[in-house]
Chains A and B, each alone.
Chain A
Amino acid sequence: MTARCVRSVSGSLQLLLRNRWPKVYGAATCSQKHTYTPPPAQYGGRHTVTLIPGDGIGPELANHVRELFRFCCVPVDFEVVNVDSTMASEDDINNAIMAIRRNGVALKGNLETNHNLPPSYKSRNNLLRTTLDLYANVMHCQSLPGVRTRHRNIDIMIIRENTEGEYSSLEHENVPGVVECLKIITRTKSLRIADYAFRTAREKGRTRVTAVHKANIMKLGDGLFLECCKEVASGYPEITFDSMIVDNTTMQLVSRPQQFDVMVMPNLYGNVVSNVCAGLVGGPGLVPGANYGEDYAVFETGTRNTGKSIANTNTANPTAMLLASCLLLDHLKLHAYANMIRRAILSTVTETRLHTADLGGQGSTSEVVQSIMKAVESTGPRTLSL
């Protein structure tokens, strides 16, 4: 047990000790450590983005993204890397990771994990996140007009630590019938995610950050996380910082979700809270998610569902994946394209009200995508013919 911990620790200690300068693309200088410059558009002014279709509804949604980008003449080429999640070897996912290292950004569908397989078979999604050190998972849940939900006026930004906590995958059975699973919380990563949360709050003009924890029970682990958040909060005096215990948080979310602004939390609570919030604003088909690291960014649907049961039935809601692709365009600083597509998507959901089955409508995926393309065409820019 100790050896494994040390190995896992030495990884993060390495990060600390390795005197890393941020990778410099273009004109960014070292003093502006947090100014982000996208990977250079090397080939004819076009960006190359890794695309991992994934399982379930992933491939069809990936095709729709490509179709839409082609129609809108977006200067992005997709390098498709297929990952077969049924294979025991990790070659496929390692190829995908290498492709992402090469291109710097990726759009991915969820890779299914068969939880009946032995522990040697690790979750591919988790492997990708931890290897690329995509430490921040950001999900922005907003109530959309035109989508019927029980609560209105929700606008919550959830920032979840993405690489450690309960998802360290360190488990062992010392005595038969007794399994121990380790939850690791480190000071470095907690400071990093707290800093990310406050910086994002400042950039987006948000006024409150709430840390979600269970420090009354896990005094050392979540206690450390909370302490780090408080430390970072002192450097951002204009932002109010408070904390809430996770069970009270879920209770408050279902009764009065409007009280929350930005929320920051460790991995597992982030999983619960982001799924609750996604459910509150209309379901898994509407909310995009982004995973940011120091050097890489991977975009996907917010709640990471495979949608196995509705795969290939043309009923999946493409909104989440398409909005994720808009986040991708923003990341590449192609803001004009991002805003154009986002406006078209939102007009289809809120004005035209063409909804798929998960929102109570009867539209098919392709109908929704067609409607979005029509909306884009009507706003004027040159597009390919429909």
Chain B
Amino acid sequence: MAGNAWRSMMQTVTLIPGDGIGPEISTAVMKIFEAAKAPIRWEERNVTAIKGPGGRWMIPPDAKESMDRSKIGLKGPLKTPIAAGHPSMNLLLRKTFDLYANVRPCVSIEGYKTPYTDVNLVTIRENTEGEYSGIEHVIVDGVVQSIKLITENASRRIAEYAFEYARNNQRSSVTAVHKANIMRMSDGLFLRKCREVAENYKDVKFTEMYLDTVCLNMVQDPTQFDVLVMPNLYGDILSDLCAGLIGGLGVTPSGNIGANGVAIFESVHGTAPDIAGLDLANPTALLLSAVMMLRHMGLHDYGNKIQTACFDTIRDKKVLTKDLGGNSKCSEFTADICRRVQDLD
């Protein structure tokens, strides 16, 4: 029966609304998806850490079970706990699902003017090791050593993901960002793995560039970059630099890819507690992450439709939220996008 067939096409996505403005922007995204008639069934879960058996902090079992089943997640901003006793939720999620790649496509938004136009690049950052391994010691009083860890497996895995992404999204080149002139062994290992993987992807052009050269050229001419792959720290800095080029964290989508086919897409801005519950939030970041999610799931038509509607609304400048320069409410912004999505049908 047609009804059953359509229902069986529906894919489940675990939705984690988050804190602060999280719930309202998640509602906005759900509304827009409904207007677009996207075949997504949302399963809302809460990921506040609980103490599991053995005293280790973990995410609630129902959240984990839902993610393992659906394999796709959409997450709003999570509050960083102070004195709650448990580590950051983002870190916990990363460890639980082995989210090794952080992908941020940065595309200039027509209608949201920044000094940089025509930005169209993707930063792919290794998310599990590198400088953020958290291994630090005090050797002698006044001398601290932080360890940067680079492993063959993680480097190969991220390089493979980067080339696969480039191939699947019709990107022409991948650039490895490194500082092997100074950190010969560690970044050298990373670079070697990238070169090895590049051999298997001859259709994608591979280049290598020093971190400082990338920074220098990025602020002068970002159009020369396509896909960038790099270890953790450089990725952190560069992905935020690129987010700054297109307008900040309020309009930047982000996706985390894990082992076992798990992928969690998220908005990377904060929880904005000062405007929570006041219908003033901007759902663009979460919406664009959701679009990224649709593309990841192969639902390109829906993704394109929603993205076009969103960009058209911003370009029109009639119902923009405060951070985009207007003074409309979140619900008005959402309603406008819903209307455009339905018109595009």
A interface, CB within 8 angstroms of B = 5, 9, 12-13, 113, 115-119, 121, 123, 126, 150-151, 166-167, 169, 171-173, 177-188, 214, 217-221, 223-224, 246-248, 250-255, 268-269, 271-272, 274-276, 278-280, 283-284, 303-305
- B215 → chain A, closest Cβ, in Å? 4
Are A115 and B151 in contact (CB-based, < 8 A)? no
In the assembled complex, the Cα of A271 lies from the Cα of B211 at a distance in Å of 9
A118-B145 contact, Cβ under 8 Å, with A151-B115, A178-B152, A254-B244: no
Specify the chain B residue showing the minimal Cβ separation from A13. Answer: B140
A224–B150 touching, CB < 8 Å:
no
Q: Which residues of B contact A304 (CB under 8 A)?
A: 212
User: How far, in Å, is A377 (CB) from chain B's closest CB?
Assistant: 33
Are the C-beta atoms of A221 and B146 separated by less than 8 Å?
yes
Say whether B248 faces chain A, with CB atoms less than 8 Å apart: yes
Q: Is B188 an interface residue (CB 8 A)?
A: yes
Q: Are B145 and A179 in contact (CB under 8 A)?
A: no
Report chain B residues within 8 Å CB of A123.
Answer: 181-182
A residues within 8 A CB of B241? Answer: 247, 250-251, 253-254, 276
Q: What CA separation (Å) do A182 and B146 show in the bound complex?
A: 6
Interface status of B186 (Cβ within 8 A of chain A): yes
Complex: chain A residue closest to B234, CB-CB: A272
Q: Residue on A with the closest CB to B133?
A: A180
Within the complex, the shortest CB–CB distance from A319 to chain B, in Å, comes to 15
Nearest to B189 among chain A residues (CB) is A179
Cβ contact within 8 Å between A171 and B144? no
A179 touches B215 (CB 8 A): no
Q: In the complex the two chains form, is B148's CB within 8 Å of A183's CB?
A: yes
B2, CB-defined interface residue at 8 Å = no
Inter-chain contacts of B185 with A (CB < 8 A): 119, 171-173, 179, 181
Query: Could you tell me if A184 and B145 are in contact, using CB atoms closer than 8 angstroms?
Result: yes
Instruction: Check if B286 is an interface residue, CB within 8 A of chain A.
Output: no
Residue from the list A5, A116, A218 in contact with B131, Cβ < 8 A: A218
Known interface pairs A186-B143, A221-B144; A303-B186 also in contact (CB < 8 Å): no
Among B191-247, those with CB < 8 Å from A are 191, 211-213, 215-220, 233, 236-241, 243-245
B136 within 8 A of A: yes
Note all chain B residues with C-beta closer than 8 A to A188: 142
C-alpha gap A304/B178 in the complex (Å): 16
Check if B81 is an interface residue, CB within 8 A of chain A.
Answer: no
The answer to whether the Cβ of B184 comes within 8 Å of any Cβ in the partner chain is: yes
Q: Residue B240 contacts which of A169, A178, A220, A248 (CB distance < 8 angstroms)?
A: A248
CA distance A185 to B146 in the complex (A): 8
CA distance A187 to B138 in the complex (A): 11
Per the bound structure, the CA–CA distance linking A257 and B329 in Å amounts to 30
Known: A151-B115, A179-B151, A247-B240. A276 touches B219 (CB 8 A): yes
Does B153 make an interface contact (CB < 8 A)?
yes
Beyond A5-B139, A150-B115, whether A217 also contacts B134 by CB under 8 A is yes
A123 to B179, CA, bound (A): 11
Chain B residue at smallest Cβ distance from A118: B184
Given known A115-B181, A272-B215, A279-B217, contact A181–B150 (CB-CB < 8 A): yes
| B212 and A180 form a contact (CB under 8 A) | no
Distance between B147 CB and nearest chain A CB, rounded to angstroms: 5
From A181, A246, A278, A279, name the one whose CB has the most chain B CB atoms within 10 angstroms: A181
Bound complex: CA A220 to CA B185 (Å): 24
Q: Which residues of B contact A150 (CB under 8 A)?
A: 115-116
Residues of B within 8 A of A (CB): 114-116, 131-132, 134, 136-153, 178-189, 191, 211-213, 215-220, 233, 236-241, 243-245, 248-249
CA distance A194 to B212 in the complex (A): 23
Q: How many Å from the CB of B170 to the closest CB on chain A? A: 27
Looking at the assembled complex, report how far the CB atom of A111 sits from the nearest CB atom of chain B, in whole angstroms.
10
CB-CB nearest 4 A-B residue pairs: A187-B142, A251-B244, A279-B219, A177-B152
Contacts of A271 in B (CB 8 A): 179, 211-212
Judge whether B219 and A280 touch: CB under 8 Å: yes
Q: Which residues of B contact A219 (CB under 8 A)?
A: 136
> CB distance A278 to B114 under 8 Å?
no
Given contacts A220-B144, A247-B237, contact A9 B139 (CB under 8 A): yes
Q: Which of A151, A272, A278 contacts B237 (CB 8 A)?
A: A272
- Residues on B with beta carbons closer than 8 Å to the beta carbon of A177: 151-153, 189
User: How many Å lie between the Cα of A123 and that of B149 in the bound state?
Assistant: 21
B145 touches A183 (CB 8 A): yes
Q: Is A167 a contact partner of B182 (Cβ separation < 8 A)?
A: yes
C-alpha spacing A224/B137, complex, angstroms: 12
With A177-B151, A220-B146, A279-B217 in contact, do A183 and B182 touch (Cβ < 8 Å)?
A: no
A361 to chain B, nearest CB (A): 15
How far is B143's CA from A5's CA once the two chains are assembled, in angstroms?
Answer: 10
Q: Which residue of B lies closest to A183 (CB)?
A: B146
Closest CB of chain B to A176's CB: distance in Å? 8
A–B Cβ pairs within 8 angstroms, 28 of them: A5-B145, A12-B143, A116-B188, A151-B115, A169-B183, A171-B185, A177-B152, A181-B148, A182-B146, A184-B143, A185-B143, A185-B146, A186-B144, A187-B143, A220-B137, A224-B142, A247-B237, A250-B240, A251-B241, A251-B243, A254-B241, A272-B211, A276-B241, A278-B216, A279-B215, A279-B219, A283-B216, A304-B212
- Report whether B212 and A275 are in contact in the complex, using a CB–CB cutoff of 8 Å: yes
CB distance from B188 to the nearest CB of A (A): 7
Name, among B147, B184, B217, the residue most crowded by chain A CB atoms within 10 Å (CB to CB). Answer: B184
Check B144 against A185 for contact (C-beta < 8 Å). Answer: yes
Nearest CB to that of B241 among chain A residues?
A250
A180-B147, A221-B144, A276-B216 known; A253 vs B244 contact (CB < 8 Å): yes
A250-B237, A271-B212 are known contacts; what are 19 more A-B pairs with Cβ within 8 Å? A117-B184, A166-B148, A166-B183, A172-B185, A177-B189, A178-B150, A178-B152, A180-B186, A183-B131, A185-B146, A186-B142, A187-B142, A217-B131, A250-B240, A251-B249, A268-B233, A280-B219, A283-B216, A303-B212
| Complex: A177 Cα to B151 Cα, angstroms | 5
| B153 / chain A contacts, CB cutoff of 8 Å | 177
B191 contacts across to A, CB distance below 8 A: 115
Q: Give the residues in chain A near B134, CB-CB below 8 Å.
A: 217
